[in-house]
Chain A
Amino acid sequence: MVIKDKKKIFTYIAVSLISIVYLLPFVWLLATSFKSFAEAFSIPPTLLPREFHPENYVEVFRRIPFARYTGNTLLITLSSVVGILISAPMAAFAVSKIKWKGSKFLFPLMIGCMLIPIQVTLVPLYVTFKKMGWIGTYLPLIVPAFLGGGLGGGYYIFLLRQFFLGVPDSLIESAELEGASTRLIYWHIMLPLSKAALITVGIFMFLNTWSDFMGPLIYLTRDTMYTLGIGLQAFLTSHHVEWHLLMAASVLFSIPTLLMFFFAQKYFIEGAKTSGLKF
């Protein structure tokens, strides 16, 4: 009994310490965002702000076109979410519930693509998009989602396929006996039954696109079209860094993802269990 108690106490101390270490950067982020310029650079530094400057958050909108960047990011993100929610479930359905020759080699292909470094397709994709006049538009960032999501799309297909496999075949067979077409079965049986999986895919796609940096960096040319990620990076390199403002901007940038996490935690845990690494 004594050994068990000791183990419990040790566990509590360890997890509490790790939690503090993991949460401290958030404290630092929030604290800096409310500090004055002078206090952010005071020596020695203060952990918590001596006086609160919520107007930092307003100043962010004056210093960089924050509202515009937010709108741009939201446009790209929501379009991509719609795209993946159309193309990934279709592909997942084809390799789980339709009995045809293609599914045997298509599914491993979809998964195998995730092992290919994106650099391998980077240059030719840029050249192709350039020929099509798509550079400097949002199309290279959005269109691939409607066509399976590119190299990383296998993750979403995998997640949905796992879920579809759990839907009993008897349900589909009885619908077929009543004369329902495959399209009807997909639309009226599979999709409504798979809401949880669809939400998970939508959330993870949202986070991935919202946080994407390399795509916008390569394809966006005009600063009026920048996403938040690119805008904040430009803020870092073009000014004498005002850390209190940059931290306030980072907080605003992170709010949608954090909110999503708190309101949809169970979907996160499910999605993370399936992949363990990607969003």
Chain B
Amino acid sequence: MRSGCKTTDFRNGFLFSLPWLVGFFLFILYPIIQSLYYSFTDFNLFQAPGFIGLENFRELFTDDLFYKSLYNTLYMTFLGSPVYIVIGLLMAVLLNNKIRGLAFFRTAFYIPYILPIVATALLWVWLLNPVNGLLNMFLRAIHLPAPNWLADPAFTKVSLILIGAWRTGPIMILFLAALQDVPKTLYEAADIDGAGIIRKFFKITLPALTPAILFQVIMQIIVNLQYFTEAYIISGSTDRLNQSVGGPLNSLMFYATYLYQNAFLYLKMGKASAMAWVLFLVAGTLTFIVFKSSKKWVFYGD
């Protein structure tokens, strides 16, 4: 506060931040340091952690399943993210046309996101059922091939991207809000110059959306690197007997599922912590690269 004396302001600021600060030290800072320590040990939950140097990392970098899970996760990140962002953008641009029934269409695009993620995963396992599912019923009706979506390793990750595409409502809302901030005068000026729809999109709309796109790219990287719940539920549905968390031929073994498996099924807490730190570094590097590159492609209007 402006008029208060400095020491009371400091005391108040500190007291109001206190719950967050306690939570930060207990649930964030201490665990981050602790997991770095565990990553150099053979910790298994029952014995005190013994220091083994870089053994966990050496084991990881010679582990085929580690690479498989990393590949699957990067597949979702680099293929899923652009697909979701383009779909969200497309829907926002369509809805920004002063159409009647905007509230209805906006709800229709957004509401899949409201469904709890477990319900979403279960619904899609059933929608994608090769024999009794809605999607294959439709594909057969128009004489297209009807793949075994969740059992054929060639289609499992495509199925997950389909589910993700169904949940792009929040991206649409963000872009729609950004679109409404674009000054109308820009479009009017372009109209006078005789610019077409395509030209206006690439010269006005897209540059104006770049700050929102940057935000989405970063969020998508963080979220997709941690991809877990849908994959966990779907692999459980395809392989009920041995409770595999990797799905058909480990095509649904994601980084977070493999880490979960190491930590909580095999109790290899040291190896899981090493995985966590590799993920931390990957996430940090990707975010850093995106931020650095953003100077070249993000335009902040005035």
Q: Which residues of A contact B (CB under 8 A)?
A: 7-8, 11-12, 14-16, 18-19, 22-26, 28-29, 32, 40-45, 47, 86-87, 90-91, 93-95, 97-103, 106, 109-110, 113-128, 130, 144, 146-151, 153, 157, 169, 172-173, 176-177, 182-183, 185-186, 207, 210-211, 213-214, 217-218, 228-229, 232-233, 236-237, 241, 243, 246-247, 250, 253-254, 257-258, 260-261, 265, 268-269, 272-273, 275-278
Q: Considering the complex, which residues of chain B in the window 169-223 have a beta carbon less than 8 Å from any beta carbon of chain A?
A: 169-171, 173-175, 177, 197, 212, 215-216, 218-220, 222-223
CA distance A117 to B97 in the complex (A): 38
Contacting residues of chain B (216-239) with chain A, CB-CB under 8 angstroms: 216, 218-220, 222-223, 225-226, 228-229, 232-233, 236-237
* Closest chain A residue to B256, Cβ basis: A119
Q: Which residues of chain B in 271-292 are interfacial with respect to chain A, using CB atoms and an 8 Å cutoff?
A: 272-273, 275-277, 279-280, 283-284, 287
Q: Determine whether the beta carbon of A47 is less than 8 Å from that of B27.
A: no
User: What is the CA–CA distance of A214 and B260 in the complex, to the nearest angstrom?
Assistant: 10
Q: Which of A102, A116, A273 contacts B280 (CB 8 A)?
A: A116
- Tell whether A118 pairs with B226 under 8 Å between CB atoms, given A8-B97, A276-B216: yes
Q: How far is the CA of A26 from the CA of B127 in the complex (A)?
A: 10
Docked Cα-Cα span, A25 to B31, in Å, equals: 40
Given that A149-B23, A261-B114, A276-B215 are known contacts, is A117 also in contact with B222, CB under 8 Å in the complex?
Answer: yes
Is there a chain A Cβ closer than 8 Å to B115's Cβ? yes
Kindly count the residue-residue contacts between A and B in the assembled complex, taking CB atoms under 8 Å apart: 325
Q: Is the CB of B171 within 8 A of A98?
A: no
B9–A98 touching, CB < 8 Å: yes
Secondary structure call for the B interface: helix
Contact of B16 with A by CB under 8 A? yes
What does the 1/0 interface line of B238-273 toward A look like (CB < 8 Å)?
001001000000000001100110011000010011
Distance from B159 Cβ to chain A, minimum over Cβ atoms (Å): 13
Which residues of B come within 8 Å of A, CB atoms?
Answer: 1-4, 6, 8-10, 12-14, 16-24, 26-28, 30-32, 34-35, 38, 45, 91, 94-95, 97, 99, 104-112, 114-119, 122-127, 129, 131-134, 137, 140, 166, 169-171, 173-175, 177, 197, 212, 215-216, 218-220, 222-223, 225-226, 228-229, 232-233, 236-237, 240, 243, 255-256, 259-260, 263-264, 269, 272-273, 275-277, 279-280, 283-284, 287
Contact among B19, B175, B276 for A87, CB-based, below 8 A: B19
Q: Kindly state the separation between the CA atoms of A7 and B208 in the bound complex, as whole angstroms.
A: 22
Contact of A11 among B97, B134, B169, B287 (CB under 8 A): B97
* Known contacts A14-B94, A90-B17, A176-B1, A257 near B269 by CB under 8 Å: no
How distant is A90 from chain B, measured CB to nearest CB, in Å?
A: 5
Contact A236 B23 (CB under 8 A): no
Q: Judging by beta carbons under 8 Å apart, are B219 and A276 in contact?
A: yes
Residues of A within 8 A of B27 (CB): 121, 125, 144, 147-148, 150-151
Quick check: A124 and B34 within 8 Å, CB to CB?
yes
- Residue B17 contacts which of A106, A176, A250 (CB distance < 8 angstroms)? A106
Task: Specify which of A28, A103, A211 is in contact with B13 (CB 8 Å cutoff).
Answer: A103
Q: A94-B17, A147-B20, A236-B236 provided; 7 other pairs, C-beta below 8 A?
A: A119-B276, A121-B27, A146-B23, A182-B1, A211-B116, A237-B243, A253-B116
- Complex: A90 Cα to B107 Cα, angstroms: 33
Assess whether B222 is in contact with A272, with CB atoms less than 8 Å apart.
no
Closest beta carbon of chain A to B96's beta carbon, Å: 10
Q: Chain A: interface secondary structure?
A: helix
| 19 A-B pairs (CB sep. < 8 Å) | A8-B97, A19-B105, A19-B109, A28-B134, A47-B134, A94-B17, A98-B12, A100-B14, A116-B283, A119-B255, A127-B269, A128-B31, A144-B27, A210-B116, A211-B117, A229-B117, A250-B122, A269-B106, A278-B219
